[in-house]
């Protein structure tokens, strides 16, 4: 990898990855529709809207690998999701194809499977069960990645990120947390592993309470350094005084599942 592009570079994860991937590749290009805060003179930034195909085609010229973080990162109206995560995501992959880009690492989300109950243990071969339009768009991004890998030979890794933070902030996050350095390790596997065709992996640290089998990541060499359980007391303390939510507490996706929920009644024994 000579030239790596980070989309969504002005965002929360983008800000971390700007630091953690600095100096790893000879050229790191940052892009977003917003200018990142604290941009330094050594950093290369190109503003572009994912929904603008011509801008994306220009942006990806000479790019070997992409970390695609850009897009709508929570539930929103269909119009917003559609522009950023459907049109925008397709544009990104299509611009990669046009420019002969070799790798795309796509930031997928746990919300692509958020309507699995918390007692379920799932792997990446389980069918998607999105818990929101946002989750639907992430399942779409995975499907586009799979298509571009099989049909055009692009190498693609979709990382279903649980939740990135310095430490897990509540009980649910004890199951789904990933530390910044563990996510960096996964991203580098996605960009650099010589045999990658198309893979879906869980973006989680070494979490004792995980709901997800991360064998695919392990097979590719992922060895997480951090454990959510090391922060258990802090995370559980955050639950004090929190009002229970029968829907959000039942499903893996958490509170987003409860927004406008009129699905099946939650089983009593839960």
Positions that interact with ligand NAD (CB under 6 A): 8, 10-14, 32-34, 49-51, 69-73, 84, 88, 107, 109, 161, 163-164
Half-sphere exposure of 129 (CA within 13 A, CB side): 17
Q: How many CB atoms lie within 10 A of CB 84?
A: 22
Q: Which residue has the tokens 């994912």?
A: 50
Tell me whether residue 134 is one of the annotated catalytic residues: yes
Nearer to ligand NAD, 3 or 72 (CB): 72
Nearer to ligand NAD, 56 or 149 (CB): 56
- Catalytic one among 134, 148, 222, 251? 134
Shortest distance, CB of residue 27 to ligand NAD, whole angstroms? 20
Maximal C-alpha separation, the chain? 58
Kindly give, in sequence order, each residue whose CB lies less than 8 Å from that of residue 49, ignoring residues fewer than 6 positions away.
33, 55, 88
- Residue 178 has φ and ψ, to the nearest 5°, of -135, 135
Tokens linked to 11 = 């965002």
Q: Please report, for residues 84, 103, 138, the alpha-carbon distance to residue 33 in angstroms, rounded to integers and kept in the order given.
A: 11, 22, 20
Cα Rg, the chain, nearest whole Å: 18
Shortest distance, CB of residue 139 to ligand NAD, whole angstroms? 12
Nearer to ligand NAD, 77 or 246 (CB): 77
Nearer to ligand NAD, 80 or 266 (CB): 80
Shortest distance, CB of residue 242 to ligand NAD, whole angstroms? 19
Tokens linked to 149 = 């890998």
Nearer to ligand NAD, 84 or 128 (CB): 84
Q: How many CB atoms lie within 10 A of CB 41?
A: 5
Shortest distance, CB of residue 64 to ligand NAD, whole angstroms? 20
Nearest Cα residue to 211 out of 202, 221, 199: 202
Shortest distance, CB of residue 264 to ligand NAD, whole angstroms? 26
Sign of CA dihedral 8, 190, 213, 169: negative
Shortest distance, CB of residue 267 to ligand NAD, whole angstroms? 27
Tokens linked to 86 = 């459907």
Give the H/E segment covering residue 29.
strand 27-32
Nearer to ligand NAD, 33 or 232 (CB): 33
Catalytic site positions: 134
């Amino acid at each position: 990898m000579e030239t790596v592009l980070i989309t969504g570079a002005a965002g929360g994860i983008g800000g971390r990855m700007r630091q953690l991937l600095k100096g790893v590749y000879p050229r790191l290009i940052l892009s977003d529709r917003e200018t990142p805060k604290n941009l330094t003179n050594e950093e290369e930034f190109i503003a572009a809207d994912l929904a603008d195909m011509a801008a994306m085609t220009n942006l990806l010229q000479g790019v070997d690998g992409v970390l695609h973080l850009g897009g709508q990162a929570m539930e929103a109206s269909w119009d917003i999701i559609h522009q950023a995560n459907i049109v925008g995501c397709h544009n990104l992959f299509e611009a990669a194809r046009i420019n002969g880009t070799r790798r795309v690492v796509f930031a997928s989300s746990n919300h692509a499977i958020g309507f699995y109950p918390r007692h379920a243990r799932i792997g990446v071969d389980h069918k998607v069960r999105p818990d929101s339009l946002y989750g639907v768009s992430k399942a779409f991004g995975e499907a586009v990645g799979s298509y571009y890998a099989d049909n055009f030979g692009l190498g693609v890794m979709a990382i279903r990120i649980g939740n990135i933070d310095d430490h897990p902030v509540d009980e649910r996050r004890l199951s789904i947390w990933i530390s910044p350095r563990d996510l960096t390790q996964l991203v580098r596997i996605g960009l650099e592993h010589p045999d990658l065709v198309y893979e879906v992996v869980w973006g989680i640290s070494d979490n004792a309470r995980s709901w997800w089998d991360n064998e695919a990541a392990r097979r590719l060499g992922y060895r997480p350094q951090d454990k959510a359980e090391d922060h258990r007391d802090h995370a559980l303390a955050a639950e004090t005084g929190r009002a229970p939510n029968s829907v959000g507490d039942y499903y893996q996706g958490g509170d987003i599942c409860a927004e406008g929920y009129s699905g099946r009644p939650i089983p009593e024994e839960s």
